[in-house]
A and B are shown apart, each in its own frame.
Chain A
Amino acid sequence: MIDQLLASVTDGMLVGVVYGLAAMGLTLIFGVMNVINLAHGPIMALGMFTVYLAYTSLGLNPFLGLLLAAGLGLILGVIIYWGAVHRVIDAPHLSSLLSTFSVNMIIIGIGTAIFSTSFRNVDYSLGIVTIGPITVPGTRFTSALLALGITGLLYLFLYRTRPGKYVRAVSDNRTSAGLMGIASNRVLALSFGLGTMLAALAGGLIAMALPFTILSGGSYELKSFVIVVLGGLGNPIGALLGGVILGLIEGLVPVFTKITWVPVIEFVLFVLILLVRPQGLFGAKQ
């Protein structure tokens, strides 16, 4: 029993921080501009395919592929911002939900035409890590470490660099930031790009360990919603913790009951937290 618990906790934590990274992208965008990015899942899928194609077609090491995914994610995010979000940023919520959803449809439509919805695997192995009763593929272990590293870098960026401070300023109050001479539109575009970059990176990390299709982003997008609410909408560090909690739920619930109860518990928890503690588990009372 102890062995299984240990193994389950490890598996849960490892996958949880990657979930957390993805959710961070979603929550960053929401925090800065109050937009829920419904193209989040497809962008994760594009991250997966970037790593996959770089590995299979260019023979690029998946870790270099990740850099590529990050760059493309950033550029794509800025394009999406100017093309689909900028015009509706002050419109009612429905507008930005639908405009990002139409981006979702465009990516999925073209992606399906090009890649079909068949499964892909990045056949890349880093051996197997064994510690006592715990056996973990090396790729999963490395993915989790990288996700933590990227989180650290994000924090350095947000708190130690000028553009990062601009992002936080616009997030706090867009109007005042504008009055202080911060070109808020450009900062908004950058924030959106950062959010999608995190999504693409998370997608790339997932692709290294698990099979995926162009549609796979959808289920991770739902997980990101749950995580974002657990951690508090707009709270990046909360998202990381939320991710770990979700990972632990997925790892530990099957120990005690049927695995099919996992999503029931996840989504009931999600709705309950929205109702009872909309600021998230770690947010201060607003």
Chain B
Amino acid sequence: MRILRNLSFWIAVGVVVLIIAYGATGGAIRRETWFTVLLFVGLASSLNILLGYTGYVSFGHIVFFGFGGYIGFWAIDTLGMNLWLAALLGGLVSALLALGLGLAILRLRGAYFALATIGILEAMKALVINIPALGGPNGMELNFSVYRGYGGAATALWMVYWSVAAIALIVVITSYIVKKSKFGLGLMAIREDEDAAEIMGVVAPRAKTWAYVISAFFPGILGVLFFFKQGIIEPGSAFRLQLSIEMLVMVMLGGSGTVLGPILGAGAYQILRGTLLTSDLELLGMKVKDIQLAVAGVLLLIIVLFIPVGAIGWLRTRSATLRRILE
């Protein structure tokens, strides 16, 4: 357990724990805000394992969130499965899907891979609409009595908060371990130059596929927890391309390939969006809440053009100390 002696590990874990604690100590509305942040910490960090470490741009990563969510939701609703089992099931089916898909599409590089992931997301959404067992275009609704099995709605909401918090923490720890492992080094070699990596002895197809599977497993679990809380799942909200791209933005904002980056990126982006959406500020005669997307767009553009390594990546270039403590 050499990792436990690294200051950078404790900083990453500490940030997540702080977020969890802050969100848990302010009643329902603060919990709701930080629930969303934690959800995206989990999603963005998962994506980062594929995007940041391996260099494969998945534009449709939300497909695992939606697919896992759908299967888990179906299991709870139709089979009466326990939430925890269903969440695990959601994670496993997402991982399996990634395994199958990965063997096929990870052969594609660059833009071709990015396009393929969009295609898979859209194909999956269209497919679910045609499956009556999953509710077709209307999706599914949980009967409210389901929450009674978990101590009533109020308790269930807290329970889901703690579960998502735990998963977010586990994803971050996994992300750290992967980065420091030999496996992670292989992934980063693939990112820098896939052909060279293969020559150096990295079995690229296998490594890529595993990265893909890991980065799909956690979104599957999170999907089940999220839609259990929502009480309703629909194809449009489960497989939303927009959300997928927002995940990318969060990773970039914080710094792709860093452990801390996706955490901060997810936090900053969600809070920015939430604040802009409900603010009464005006800019050039337009309500900021109406142009929140444009403001976020300008921010993203500045980052991509001038600080492509993201906030954490940039800080890491500043000094050796920062490089040591910010991973």
Chain B nearest CB from A280 CB (Å) reads 11
Chain B nearest CB from A30 CB (Å) reads 7
Q: How far is the CA of A88 from the CA of B287 in the complex (A)?
A: 31
Q: Which of B8-16, B142-150, B216-224, B292-300 contacts A (4 or more CB under 8 A)?
A: B292-300
**Is A109's CB under 8 angstroms from B294's CB?**
yes
**Is B287's CB under 8 angstroms from A113's CB?**
yes
Within 8 Å of chain A (Cβ to Cβ): is B22?
A: no
A102 with B304, Cβ < 8 A, contacts A112-B290, A226-B119 known: yes
| Chain B residue at minimal CB-CB distance from A225 | B115
Q: How far is the CA of A114 from the CA of B90 in the complex (A)?
A: 41
**Is A84's CB under 8 angstroms from B130's CB?**
no
Q: Which of A234-248 contact B (CB under 8 A)?
A: none
Chain B nearest CB from A256 CB (Å) reads 14
Contact string against A for B residues 39-57, beta-carbon threshold 8 Å, 1 for contact and 0 otherwise: 0000000000001000101
**Is B291's CB under 8 angstroms from A109's CB?**
yes
Within 8 Å of chain B (Cβ to Cβ): is A181?
A: no
Contact string against B for A residues 41-52, beta-carbon threshold 8 Å, 1 for contact and 0 otherwise: 000000000000
**Is B119's CB under 8 angstroms from A274's CB?**
yes
Q: Which chain B residues border A110 with CB–CB below 8 Å?
A: 286, 291, 294
**Is A225's CB under 8 angstroms from B301's CB?**
no
Q: Which chain B residues border A267 with CB–CB below 8 Å?
A: 119-120, 122-123, 126
**Is B126's CB under 8 angstroms from A263's CB?**
yes
A106 with B126, Cβ < 8 A, contacts A93-B111, A98-B304, A274-B108 known: no
Q: Which chain A residues border B115 with CB–CB below 8 Å?
A: 36, 225, 229, 270, 274
Q: Which chain B residues border A222 with CB–CB below 8 Å?
A: 118, 122
Q: Which chain B residues border A258 with CB–CB below 8 Å?
A: 130
Contact string against B for A residues 245-286, beta-carbon threshold 8 Å, 1 for contact and 0 otherwise: 000000000000010111110111011001100100000000
A106 with B308, Cβ < 8 A, contacts A97-B57, A260-B126, A275-B107 known: no
Within 8 Å of chain B (Cβ to Cβ): is A91?
A: yes
A98 with B249, Cβ < 8 A, contacts A36-B111, A88-B304, A109-B293 known: yes
Within 8 Å of chain A (Cβ to Cβ): is B112?
A: yes
**Is A271's CB under 8 angstroms from B123's CB?**
yes
Q: Which chain A residues border B256 with CB–CB below 8 Å?
A: 94
Q: How far is the CA of A108 from the CA of B296 in the complex (A)?
A: 11
**Is A109's CB under 8 angstroms from B118's CB?**
no
Q: Which chain B residues border A105 with CB–CB below 8 Å?
A: 293-294, 296-297, 300
Q: Which of A81-119 contact B (CB under 8 A)?
A: 83-84, 87-88, 91-95, 97-99, 101-110, 112-114
**Is B291's CB under 8 angstroms from A99's CB?**
no
- A225 touches which one: B107, B118, B294, B298 (CB < 8 A)? B118
Q: How far is the CA of A260 from the CA of B129 in the complex (A)?
A: 7
Within 8 Å of chain B (Cβ to Cβ): is A34?
A: yes
Q: How far is the CA of A98 from the CA of B299 in the complex (A)?
A: 11
Q: How far is the CA of A62 from the CA of B318 in the complex (A)?
A: 56
| Chain B residue at minimal CB-CB distance from A35 | B111
**Is B119's CB under 8 angstroms from A271's CB?**
yes
Q: How far is the CA of A112 from the CA of B137 in the complex (A)?
A: 26
**Is B248's CB under 8 angstroms from A98's CB?**
yes
**Is A260's CB under 8 angstroms from B137's CB?**
yes
New A-B contacts (16) at CB < 8 Å, excluding given A106-B301, A233-B111, A275-B107: A95-B304, A97-B59, A102-B301, A104-B297, A109-B293, A110-B291, A112-B291, A113-B294, A225-B118, A229-B119, A258-B130, A263-B126, A266-B126, A267-B119, A270-B123, A274-B108
Interface residues of B (CB under 8 A from A): 51, 55, 57, 59, 104-105, 107-108, 110-112, 114-116, 118-120, 122-123, 125-127, 129-130, 137, 241, 245, 248-249, 252, 256, 286-287, 290-298, 300-301, 304-305, 308
Q: List 6 A-B contacts (CB under 8 A).
A: A98-B304, A101-B249, A103-B301, A274-B105, A274-B108, A275-B116
